[in-house]
Copies of this chain bind each other. A is one copy, B any other.
Amino acid sequence: MVSSRTAAQRKTRADGERTRALILDTAVRLATIEGLDGLSIGKLAGATGVSKSGLYAHFGSKEQLQLATVETARHLFIEQVVAPALQATGLERLQALCESFLRYVERRTLPGGCFFAAAAAELGGRPGPVRELIAGNQEDWTQLLTAAAEDAISAGQLRQETDVAVLVFELNALVVAANTAFILHDNPAVIDRARAAVARVLDADAPEADR
């Protein structure tokens, strides 16, 4: 009897985790269209079939729901964009991170494009814990590009005088702009335009011998 109750409890907990994962997956997708602020408990209940009271049981407040949604989007971004690029090092990693981001947009992973690009534009002007979490994620991404660029310089793949902050700013600007234009104009050509621009920017910092 005890062991059967424990199994039932285990099943309940596993169900709870599955429900939570389903809710957050839906929340990430919905937020790229409706905004993180548009993530009402009501809309999410409609989209997932979970009752409003069930949603409140998982997330005590809208802010908690938003924070958990950002965490889920972070895992997705790491899995889809960052991880595939980590096999490479130096200049190749820098190229792979940009390419990986562009493919993530191109294959319409999320209906409204990159979650973080949308969230940064939406919440940039509204101080608070959600903005801080988004800003922290942006800094991690910038840091990843910076470290790869620095390795590329050490390896002699980019010239010593490279202004890493400017280079990383440029690369990030290009892939984010491709995301915005792809979603707004529904135009796949902008992804290739961004690819050409990324190559051009990296070429401008190639060591003299390679130019």
Which residues of A come within 8 Å of B, CB atoms?
32-35, 37-38, 111-113, 117-118, 120-122, 124-126, 131, 134-135, 138-139, 163, 165-166, 169-170, 172-174, 176-178, 180-181, 183-185, 190, 193-194, 196-197, 200-201, 204
A21 to chain B, nearest CB (A): 23
Known: A166-B193, A193-B166, A197-B173. Is A122-B180 also a contact (CB below 8 A)? Answer: no
For A192, the closest partner residue in chain B by CB is: B166
One complex includes copies of this chain to the number of: 2
Contact of A184 among B38, B120, B163, B196 (CB under 8 A): B120
A127 to chain B, nearest CB (A): 9
Contact of A177 among B38, B176, B185 (CB under 8 A): B176
* A173: chain B residues within 8 A (beta carbon): 173-174, 176-178, 194, 197
